[in-house]
Structure 1
């Protein structure tokens, strides 16, 4: 399967460099200069991944991410000259799966793309067997089609939220440190703050209010089973 990656970037030099590296890796690439063009592509030929600049003419990258995330869990990598921690947190809050600060190495971008596709594979079958499900009390996770249920209600979760929930469910009652969660969910090459972990947990708790996702004070988090 040839993955289709859409790049929204108004700097022509960055467009050329990124598209050249993506083409070299064998990806199908569509390059656009505005979020409005991105929304048109989303309706006509949705890609398997978005790479989105924040500072764009017209609709900015944050608003674009919000609109896409309201409709789909397709992976989004945010690229921005804004390197303040609050900007990174906002990008992740709005559904970004990763955040790269300009200037960045194209090879680092490729590494992050490959890691995300390894975790989120559109080509996986949607057929399920018993081993494809992880169940902890009211939480049920279907691994192959990446669906999450709390009781009978399906939950709308992002890629990172799914990865963290699956990690907790497969290791129920085990406490993970923030550093462990960064490595296991974001990958070893992620250099952001561990506040990203707290933010992701906050988002999960907001969506699934009764789930016993506990804080282990001074350490990290764990998913507690009612049977323990």
Structure 2
């Protein structure tokens, strides 16, 4: 499941950081700068999770949490510069599921998002993990055949998708051109293996910086950057 997360934050820099990291993980993201706009979003495109700042213009994050919790059990993660114990207790008592103090590591936020989703929807998260393949900035949703690169959805052809998922599920494994022809085009294909080179070229053009390497005299492999 491709979860929709709404972020209420009035600092543009923090908006951009949170949004970029969430999109990189394959989440759909909506960003608004006030609780009032968040309430409007709730009516038109309700999210699966809220990430809410406390110090907002107009209605503050505490009041927003109270309003949402009176009507819904959708998860809420509070992100705030208010770091006193009383602030955290109040945020949690008003319905927050977690409280993260600024400044924070974006990776810690992602870990907490996943933890909260796992607590609320353990079966769906388990299914999502099995249906989603992630390699660096490449996220492939197998169930609906959607592909994201650095948080942005990409249009791909059937053959491009089939080759990408093959490489992503077999990171660091080298495939010969003959293997790729059989697995992507099928055993009944009798064309030239030049089709493999052309498809790789198109994928590289769409997914620049994807470590899809040539294994000279043999074929191709998708390298894990962390292994280099």
Instruction: Kindly indicate whether residue 34 of structure 2 is the aligned counterpart of residue 3 of structure 1.
Output: no
Counterpart in 2 of 1:82? 82
Establish whether residue 16 from structure 1 lines up as the match of residue 16 from structure 2: yes
Deviation at 1:122, TM superposition (A): 8.6
Counterparts of 1:57 and 1:118 in 2: how far apart (Å)? 32
Q: Secondary structure of the residue that 1:59 maps to in structure 2?
A: coil
Name the Cα RMSD after superposition.
1.1
| SS at 1:70 equivalent | helix
Aligned match of 1:119 = 119
Please, which runs of 5 or more residues in structure 2 have no aligned partner? 125-228
Corresponding residue number in structure 2 for 1:205: none
Measured in 1, the distance between the counterparts of 2:87 and 2:118 equals 26
Of structures 1 and 2, the one with the larger relative CO (CA 8 A, separation 6+) is: 2
Structure 1 segments of 4+ aligned residues over 2 angstroms from their partners: none
Cross-structure match for 2:178:
none
Q: Which runs of 5+ in 1 are unaligned?
A: 125-228
Q: TM-score, normalised by structure 1?
A: 0.53
Q: How many residue pairs were aligned? A: 124
Compare the two structures and name the one with the higher helix fraction.
Answer: 2
Q: Shift of the alpha carbon at 1:123? A: 7.2
Q: For the Cα contact (< 8 Å) 1:18–1:106, is it kept in 2?
A: yes
CA offset digits 1:84-126 (Å, max 9, x no partner): 00000000000000000000000000000001111112975xx
TM score, norm. by length of structure 2: 0.53
Q: What corresponds to 1:32 in structure 2?
A: 32
- Structure 2 vs 1, CA of residues 123 and 70 (structure 1 numbering), >3 Å: closer, same or farther? farther
Bigger radius of gyration, 1 or 2?
2
- Asked whether the equivalents of residues 48 and 122 of structure 1 are also in contact (C-alpha less than 8 Å), the reply is no
